[in-house]
Chain A
Amino acid sequence: MLTTMLATAKRNYYIAKRVFPWSFIVQRIVIGLYTVLFSYFIYHYMFRGYLDSRFETYTGSSDYITYTILGVSLYTFAVSTLMNVGRSLMNELREGTLEALLLSPCSRKGYFLGNLIEQVGRSFLEFFVVLIVGWLLGAKLLNIKIEQLIIVLILSIFSFFSMGVSLATVMLRTRDTYITQNTLFIIVSLVCGISYPIQYLPTWLQVISHVLPLTHVLELFRKVVIFGDLLWHHWILIIKLVALSLMYLLFGFWWLSRVEKQLIEKTFG
């Protein structure tokens, strides 16, 4: 697994070095910034800084700008990881290299981890650009406990990776990236509490929120950054997040083995 992981990371690095995906990075940062600016404009110029009293009840804070900027930055991080891991196998199929990959006895876990590792730096870059712009717009980020933040980010990577494996399988099954990824990203942006608390949503939509790991990572992230909480105070939330992510991971790999078989029967001659 380790050899496949390192080899895949190295391969992706070489490809990125030659054809650097600037357009993807810029696109994700710009979308993140637009979302931040949109929330900022709505809050300041439309609602004139007035917040519904329920907002404070739901979030425990009246700082909407910090709330939304944390949401958008982590959403940008999630989208970046999901796109890179999720599209990996479909890219192989499109470039005609999937057959050679499946012919080898390589570890699928190693393959996905390699895809994850190579892009983590770029995902962090996008995440921090949005955070810095958010800080310039008035988000309060200076009380962050670094070690707590690092743990949250590790948990985030794990949960986004797990979702990415499932997404890769869905994309391979449907042979589509565009509709699948954009549908997922729209759902995630609407129901995971990026710009508003999920409690505003109807109960049936909140059910969807709870089965998406991003909702729980965001809750943890905000508790650490806004309230300076220690993570062990939220161990139930962490267990919930890890369990949910594991379910995505295991389901993704289980389904992938079936989809691979179907794909081999239908393609490659």
Chain B
Amino acid sequence: MLIANNLCKVYQLKERKGLFGPKTLKEIMAVNDVSLEIKPGQIIGLLGINGAGKTTTIKMLSALLEPTSGSFSINGIDGIRYPQEIKRIVNVITGGERNIYWRLTARENLEYFASLYNLPRHKLNDSIDELLELVDLKEAADMPVERYSKGMKQRLQIARGLVNDPKFLFLDEPTLGLDVAIAKELRNHVRHLAEKRNKGILLTTHYITEAEELCDWIYVIDKGCIIATGTPSELAYSTKMNTNILVSIPELTSGVKKEIYEIAKVHQAKIEFQENTTDVSVSISAQENLTGQLAHILTSNGLPILHLKIIEPRLEDALIQLSYGGDSIERNISNCESRSYKATS
């Protein structure tokens, strides 16, 4: 299990005013008091806008970067005291076409990276064949990577990330720039790694649907602080965003209208009626989903529902509200503790 407690990272930037001006030291809190947990087989999302602190968090958890304060351990190994041990059991897969040698073949790439992890020679060939099969590159295994398509390179990146059979895998925007089909294929690989191979996965992505599809639990990070946590649906509802119901009925009697107004009053819902040539549209927007109650009123009054559309709160909207401001989160506060927000179902 990966446990991170109160991780902080302060970057020190030297700035000079003018060409010969005095240097000033500026401190930037890239990650502020981040605590998180990842269990084997779980896919955890770390979402936030650019510069929120996602990549810095991953760098610290992969022992590339030493935290300014805080601690983390993976399977009981102290990440600060034993970075080399941590590097043996984690790996990072990034988006784009970096981190592989274009002039080598896929097999040569994997052989090289496996050697960097000091894997025994007798295991090497079998595990490389297995990885190539997993990412569907067996047929192109002996072709130089420079001839690969973007998707093939990205699949090779996954194989490289798995070359040391890591217990925990950090995916930093892995589908960046990929077309829809390849991105979907990659998501399937990720799910397979968690479900079948019991890897603990930390995923950062700007594609919210990807997080909704894959993640068991999400941490929302902003300005280095974790500002919300929960399952994707919990987060979507947590920011008190409304569920909108659009319903079409053939006619609207005053009695029905009155009953709908009563529900709206109780639930502080916004309500709109629009009379069209053939039907009447009713729109109700409330924090609670009032579909059941509305349907009950209509059917008990013998009104058939011609069309029904329910627009539930989306994770994307919740994230925008969390990151760019909203009523539920106090923006102008400086410490993370008072900003953190735990979603509850």
Contact = CB atoms under 8 A, between A and B. Distances in A.
A99 B94 contact: yes
A269 B172 contact: yes
Interface in B176-214: none
A95 B98 CA distance: 7
Interface string B42-68: 000000000000010001001011100
A264 B87 CA distance: 15
A151 interface: no
Please classify how large the interface on chain A is, using the bins under 10, 10 to 19, 20 to 34, 35 or more: 20 to 34
Nearest to B101: A97
B273 interface: no
A104 B65 CA distance: 13
Interface stretch (A4-12, A27-35, A221-229, A232-240): A4-12
Interface centre among B65, B104, B113 (most CB of A within 10 A): B113
A263 to B, nearest CB: 10
Contacts of B103: 14-15, 18-19
Contact of B116 (A4, A14, A96, A264): A4
A102 B64 contact: yes
Nearest to B83: A105
A103 interface: yes
B316 to A, nearest CB: 22
Contacts of B32: none
B62 A103 contact: yes
A174 interface: no
Given A14-B104, A264-B59, A4 B115 contact: yes
A131 to B, nearest CB: 32
Interface in B154-179: 160, 164, 172
B135 to A, nearest CB: 16
Given A103-B64, A105-B117, A15 B104 contact: yes
A99 B99 CA distance: 7
B112 interface: yes
A6 B172 CA distance: 30
B140 interface: no
B115 A100 contact: no
Given A7-B111, A96-B99, A104 B117 contact: yes
B28 to A, nearest CB: 10
A105 B84 contact: yes
Contacts, number: 82
Given A18-B144, A105-B87, A268 B108 contact: no
A265 interface: yes
B273 to A, nearest CB: 51
A101 interface: yes
B244 to A, nearest CB: 37
B6 to A, nearest CB: 20
B116 A101 contact: yes
B101 A95 contact: yes
B118 A103 contact: no
A119 to B, nearest CB: 16
Contacts of A261: 65-66
A96 B98 contact: yes
Interface in A82-112: 95-97, 99-106
A99 B87 contact: no
A100 B108 contact: no
Interface centre among A11, A19, A96, A104 (most CB of B within 10 A): A104
B295 interface: no
Interface in A1-48: 3-4, 6-8, 10-11, 14-15, 18-19
Contact of B101 (A15, A104, A269): A15
A118 to B, nearest CB: 13
Contacts of B87: 103-105
Given A11-B101, A15-B101, A103-B64, A269 B88 contact: no
A103 B91 contact: yes
B62 A11 contact: no
B317 interface: no
A57 to B, nearest CB: 48
A7 B92 CA distance: 21
Given A11-B112, A264-B59, A265-B65, A100 B11 contact: no
Interface of A: 3-4, 6-8, 10-11, 14-15, 18-19, 95-97, 99-106, 261, 264-265, 268-269
Given A105-B116, A264-B65, 4 more contacts: A97-B100, A103-B87, A105-B85, A105-B117
